[in-house]
Structure 1
Amino acid sequence: MTEALVLDADAVLWSADPQALAGRHLLLLLHGYGADEHDLYPLRAYLPEQFAVASLAAPLAPPWPAPGRSWYPIEGLDGRDPSHVTRAAEAVIAWVDAHAAGAASIGLLGFSQGGAVSLQALRLDPPRFAYAVNLSGYVTPGGMPGDAELAERRPPVFWGRGTNDDVIPGFLVEHTTQWLPERVDLSGRVYQGLTHSVSEAELADVRTFLDKRLDDLDGD
């Protein structure tokens, strides 16, 4: 049996006191391959201040000499094995159980690998997460036990990607394009000329999406 991944709780960057989450809306940031918990943390300046933000550190180190961290391997014969994405998503859920149980709501914002893991976590446990933001990521192929419940709940998901992104394979973009609209309340945009990165225009759209989530959550 494969050993479960464990996220380093001491590496998490918090915008608020993690001991005072009760009643707060929590947004988790999941960085991409070769980055670390510091990569997306500056985005909090573009996000609604009502959110407590926690930027997580992926559990794996990519092969030398690649820098940073990774959520799952992309090298070798099993680099596209979807079970690795699931394993990373399970580690995120375990972290939430241990460190974020008191939050009023929990959302996910991931870039690239972090986007794939965010969507996989949403699929693993649809009731746990209020929404997801997928920046330059994709839906992992293959069925998950929570997919039927996800389609019933249809949580809000924002998907942003660039026309010049040559990192995510075309078949994964096509799969995500077909898969998401049938199971989530999808919004998003394809950004002309954007590479495998995040733009000011995209961040403005993310801010609008998150403002709407606050309105929905506080209106419940």
Structure 2
Amino acid sequence: MSAHPCLDPSVVRWSVPAAERGGRPVLLLLHGYGSDEHDLFGLVPYLPDGFVIASVRAPLAPPWPMPGASWYPIEGLDGRDPREITRAAHAVLAFVQDAVGPAPVGLLGFSQGGAVALQTLRADPDAVSFAVVLAGYAPGGEMPGDAVLAERRPPVFWGRGAADDVIPAHAVDQTAQWLPGHSRLSGRVYPGLTHSISQDELDDVRAFLDARLAEREG
């Protein structure tokens, strides 16, 4: 088995053709469990067009009959192995190096993709400039970049629904304890929202991403 699974560049959905990507910041979309690269790509009209957006497909197939792809195995609601999430994070980093280039990227992930987004930031803080975590969480354990993140405090947006019953409470609590000490945290808990994304949340994500573009230009 390889050190990490590989992302397939042939199934990536890009918001603009290759000729229009030069010199522009890249936002990578990481979908949730049982989904694929087409799912979060539907958010593109709601996101700032200052970013080149790439929606990738997770490298694993979940157990039948679950459709789509997954970033790491889930054995029951509590079976989320940080080592498997780290393997997925290294797959994302390899894709960034091979298909995006040397400039830091931003990550936007939903559910599993949100956990992988944070783990990728923790694995290599030099490769990721910010993260948007929607209905996701921070995996447990220590990562090589944690001390760097505690010093740098990169921007992170964490949004979740008050009625989300998919992410275990202990994972939410763990994230609430970890993020403030390792990021410049913004975010919101949305009343009545389940394990999904609302228009209010998209508006907040748009404002967060606009701020990242303004920082870049300033």
Q: TM-score, normalised by structure 2?
A: 0.96
- Aligned-residue offset at 1:4: 2.0
Q: Distance in 1 between matches of 2:146 and 2:21?
A: 29
AA paired with 1:135? L
- Aligned-residue offset at 1:152: 1.0
Indicate conservation of the 8 Å contact 1:139/1:175, yes or no.
yes
- Residue of structure 2 in register with 1:210 after alignment: 209
- Aligned-residue offset at 1:102: 5.3
Indicate conservation of the 8 Å contact 2:48/2:206, yes or no.
yes
Indicate conservation of the 8 Å contact 2:106/2:128, yes or no.
yes
Deviates more, 1:90-99 or 1:2-11: 2-11
- Aligned-residue offset at 1:79: 3.4
Instruction: Give the direction of change, closer, same or farther, for the CA distance of 1:210–1:78 in structure 2 (3 Å limit).
Output: closer
TM-superposition CA deviations, 1:55-89 (whole Å, max 9, x none) = 01000000000010000000279932210000000
Instruction: Give the direction of change, closer, same or farther, for the CA distance of 1:2–1:181 in structure 2 (3 Å limit).
Output: same
Indicate conservation of the 8 Å contact 1:161/1:189, yes or no.
yes
TM-superposition CA deviations, 1:118-174 (whole Å, max 9, x none) = 000000111111110000000000000110011111100000000100000000000
- Residue of structure 1 in register with 2:139 after alignment: 140
* Structural mapping, 1:155-194, within 5 Å: 155-194=154-193
> Runs (4+) of structure 1 moved beyond 6 Å?
none
Over the aligned positions, Cα root-mean-square deviation in angstroms equals: 1.6
Q: Distance in 2 between matches of 1:77 and 1:44?
A: 30
What's the secondary structure of 1:132's corresponding residue? Answer: strand
Indicate conservation of the 8 Å contact 1:8/1:59, yes or no.
yes
- Aligned-residue offset at 1:18: 3.2
Q: Distance in 1 between matches of 2:184 and 2:105?
A: 17
Q: Distance in 2 between matches of 1:169 and 1:78?
A: 7
Instruction: Give the direction of change, closer, same or farther, for the CA distance of 1:78–1:48 in structure 2 (3 Å limit).
Output: closer
1:129 equivalent in alignment to 2:128: yes
Indicate conservation of the 8 Å contact 1:21/1:100, yes or no.
no
Q: Which runs of 5+ in 2 are unaligned?
A: none
Aligned length: 218
Q: TM-score, normalised by structure 1?
A: 0.95
What's the secondary structure of 1:127's corresponding residue? Answer: coil
AA paired with 2:134? L
* Structural mapping, 1:1-220, within 5 Å: 3-18=3-18, 20-75=20-75, 79-101=79-101, 103=103, 105-219=104-218
Q: Distance in 1 between matches of 2:166 and 2:19?
A: 38
Q: Distance in 2 between matches of 1:76 and 1:194?
A: 22
Q: Which runs of 5+ in 1 are unaligned?
A: none
Q: Distance in 1 between matches of 2:19 and 2:82?
A: 34
